Amino acid sequence: MNYLAHVLLADRHPESIIGNLSGDFVKGPVDARFEPKIRQGIQLHRQIDSFTDQHPVVKALKALFSPERRRYAGIVLDVGFDHYLSRHWNRFSPVALRQFIDKVYGILSEHEAKLPPGLRAIAPRMISGDWLYSYRTLSGTGAVLDRLSRRLRHHNPLPGSVAEIANHYDQIEAGFLNLFPEVVQFASETSQALKVAVTTGRPVQSAQN
């Protein structure tokens, strides 16, 4: 899952949304430098990534990719899933996509001081470029993948990789629609477990365990 899915799966609290968006920008232990809800959001992001990476649907979809891009299939699927989420948004949220995204942008702007450095650096570009809304089209999704390729330190086959989604569009869409309800359920149950863990200091017991 990528940015859009992670913010949808967050609690509605601003700090939870910040935490779930911060998951890719915070490495190592999630310690007390973060507020409890931000800490919980980062941990939820990591749990969701682990759940989806190991899911049989994702493993089957990766096998569809061309050999030269199969190693990066997980990245392409993460971004592609946000495209399908945009396409089927009303199945998973009672709030209109545009309204939801504008609220997320407002949170990022209002709480800039709470963002980890990596997220703080890209947030203005995310907002000005309307990244979260760009997933609605394949061309916008392709632009996300091309931009992501430039963030990686080594040469990679991500430029043009939206073709992998286009070539297997219906199969990936069906996989997403099978997978995402399970992810929603997992995120809800894991979020509750994380709330207990953060407030009591106990080890996290996610819904997957």
- Provide the pLDDT for residue 206: 42
Which value, in Å, is the radius of gyration of the alpha carbons in the chain? 17
- Provide the pLDDT for residue 154: 85
C-beta of residue 144 within 8 angstroms of C-beta of residue 79: yes
C-beta of residue 191 within 8 angstroms of C-beta of residue 11: yes
- Provide the pLDDT for residue 207: 43
By the 10 Å C-beta count (0-12 exposed, 13-18 middle, 19+ buried), 181 is classed as exposed
Q: How far is CA 40 from the centre of its chain?
A: 15
Tokens linked to 32: 């007390």
- Provide the pLDDT for residue 90: 97
**DSSP reduced 3-state for 66:** coil
Tokens linked to 70: 């199969």
**Other beta carbons within 10 Å of 98:** 13
- Rounded to the nearest 10 degrees, what angle do helices 138-151 and 73-87 cross at? 150
User: Which residue is it, tokens 């430029």?
Assistant: 159
C-beta of residue 129 within 8 angstroms of C-beta of residue 110: no
> Computed from CA positions of residues 189, 51, 170, 165, in that sequence, does the dihedral angle turn out positive or negative?
positive
- Provide the pLDDT for residue 202: 56
* Closest C-alpha to 126, from 4, 8, 11, 13: 4
Q: What string of pLDDT tens digits covers the 209 residues of the chain?
A: 899 999 999 988 999 999 999 998 888 888 778 888 999 999 999 999 999 999 999 999 999 999 999 999 999 999 999 999 999 999 999 999 999 999 999 999 999 999 999 999 999 999 999 999 999 999 999 999 999 998 887 888 999 999 999 999 999 999 999 999 999 999 999 998 987 775 665 555 444 43
